[in-house]
Amino acid sequence: MKKHHRKFVEVARVDEVDSLHDVFTRCMPAFGGAYLRRTYAILDRAIGAGCPLTMAIAGPITVSGQHQAWLIPMLEAGWIAYLSTTDAVCYHDGHRSLQKENPVFEVPIFTDDGALRDEKVIRVTDMAFDEKVLFDEDQFISAILMRPEFQKKMTGTELRYKLGKIYGECEKKLKVQPGLLATCTRLGVPILVGAPGDGSLFLNSMKLWAMKQSGLIPDYRFELDLHGEVFESCAYHYWGLFENPTKALGTMVLGGGVPKNYNLQPEPALSQVLGLNDISGYQFDVQIVSAPVTEGSLSSCPPAEAVTWG
C-alpha cells in the first residue's frame, strides 16, 4: 500500500466523546469494532440519502423480547420498507400479546432439559415458557382462522396484517406492550415469510384443513396465496428502483436462512425470470450473520458474491 493511501489509526477516549456517532466512528478502531463501525457508516449513508431499507431477520427475536427492545423502535423510525422473517417469529409474537402477565422467563443455557420437560416447560436457548402458552395460542389462532373474514385466499402479508390488528386489540385490552405484528400493522410495514409451512401459524391452518377434509367441520376456505406474496415482494423492489424519490434500496440482513434468501430474490425474479430491463440489486447492503463463509451456504455468503448472480 502506498504511503499516501494509508489511513492511520487514531482513537478517542469513550469518556470524552459526546454522541453515539462519535463512539462508532472514533472509538472502534479495529477487529470486531471495525466491523461495527463499517456497518454504522453504511447505514448512516443509506439513511442520510433517504434510501428505504428492507430487513431480513432470522432467529427467535420475539421469544427473547428483542423485538420490543430494538426492532420496534427501528421500525418506528420509518426507514424500513418491509420485513422478511419466519413464521415462528410471527407465532411467538403472540405469547406476550395474548397474556396479561409476561410468560417468558430466563433459564441457564446449560440446564437440565429433562427436568424442564417434566415440568412441561419449553426452552429456547436461555428463554423459557410453560407448554400451556403454546396450547393457548394454538386455540386462539385456530379460532381466528375460522372467522368469516379469513375464509378466502390471501397473501401472507394480508394474513399477518389482519393478525396484527387483532393482536393490537388484545394488547390494548390487556394493557401490555405492543408486539411486532401489531406494530407492523399500525405502521403499514408488510411482513413477508418465505417458508410459511414450517411454523405453527400454518400448522394450525393445516389442522383446520384436515378437519374439513375429514368432515369434522363444515367448511374451511382459508388458503395462502404464495404466488401473490412473492409477486408483492417484487413490486416493492420495482417501486424502490423506479418510483421512490431516491431510485434505490438498501437492505439489512440479520441472520441467514430463508428470510435472507427471500429478501434477496426480488432482483433475480424481476430480471432473470420476468425479463425486465435495468433491474439492479441493493445499493446499500449490510449483513450480520454467524455462519462461516467456508460452509458454502447462502446464509454465509457475503454481499459481494451476489454481484456475480445478475
Average confidence (pLDDT) over 48-67:
94
Confidence check: pLDDT of 39 > 80: yes
On the 0-12 / 13-18 / 19+ scale of CB atoms within 10 A, 208 is buried
Tell me the sheet residues that pair with 121. 130
Contact 186, 165 (CB under 8 A): no
Write down the CATH superfamily of domain 51-98+130-309: Deoxyhypusine synthase (3.40.910.10)
Does the CA dihedral 137-142-147-151 come out positive or negative? positive
Instruction: Using a pLDDT cut of 90, give the percent of the chain over it.
Output: 82
3-state SS, one letter per residue, for 294-308: HHCCCCCCCHHHHHH
Domain map of the chain by residue range? 1-48, 51-98+130-309
* pLDDT, position 72: 97
3-state DSSP assignment of residue 244: coil
Closest CA to 94 of 75, 58, 67: 67
* pLDDT, position 3: 67
On the 0-12 / 13-18 / 19+ scale of CB atoms within 10 A, 123 is middle
Q: Residue 307's pLDDT band (boundaries 50, 70, 90)? A: low
Confidence check: pLDDT of 217 > 90: yes
HSE-up of residue 56 (Cα within 13 Å, Cβ side):
23
3-state DSSP assignment of residue 91: helix
Average confidence (pLDDT) over 31-42:
92
On the 0-12 / 13-18 / 19+ scale of CB atoms within 10 A, 64 is middle
Confidence check: pLDDT of 61 > 60: yes
Confidence check: pLDDT of 310 > 70: no
Confidence check: pLDDT of 303 > 70: no
* pLDDT, position 114: 94
For 38, 62, 180, 198, 291, the CA distances from 89, given in Å and listed in that order, are 28, 6, 9, 11, 20
Please provide the average confidence, as pLDDT, over all residues in the chain.
92
- Report the side by side order of strands in the sheet with 284-288: 191-193, 80-85, 53-57, 250-254, 284-288
* pLDDT, position 293: 80
* pLDDT, position 66: 92
Residues comprising the chain, all counted: 310
- Give the DSSP letter string of 6-45: --------GGG--SHHHHHHHS--SHHHHHHHHHHHHHHH
In angstroms, rounded to a whole number, what is the distance separating the alpha carbons of residues 85 and 212? 29
Confidence check: pLDDT of 191 > 90: yes
Average confidence (pLDDT) over 110-119:
93
* pLDDT, position 8: 82
* pLDDT, position 249: 96
HSE-up of residue 230 (Cα within 13 Å, Cβ side):
16
Q: Residue 122's pLDDT band (boundaries 50, 70, 90)? A: very high
Tell me the sheet residues that pair with 84. 56, 192
* pLDDT, position 1: 55
DSSP-H helix ranges across the chain: 20-26, 31-48, 61-64, 66, 72-76, 87-92, 94-97, 113-118, 131-145, 156-174, 180-187, 200-213, 226-242, 257-264, 266-268
- pTM value is 0.92
In angstroms, rounded to a whole number, what is the distance separating the alpha carbons of residues 100 and 309? 49
* pLDDT, position 300: 78
Average confidence (pLDDT) over 183-203:
95
Average confidence (pLDDT) over 171-194:
97
Q: Residue 179's pLDDT band (boundaries 50, 70, 90)? A: very high
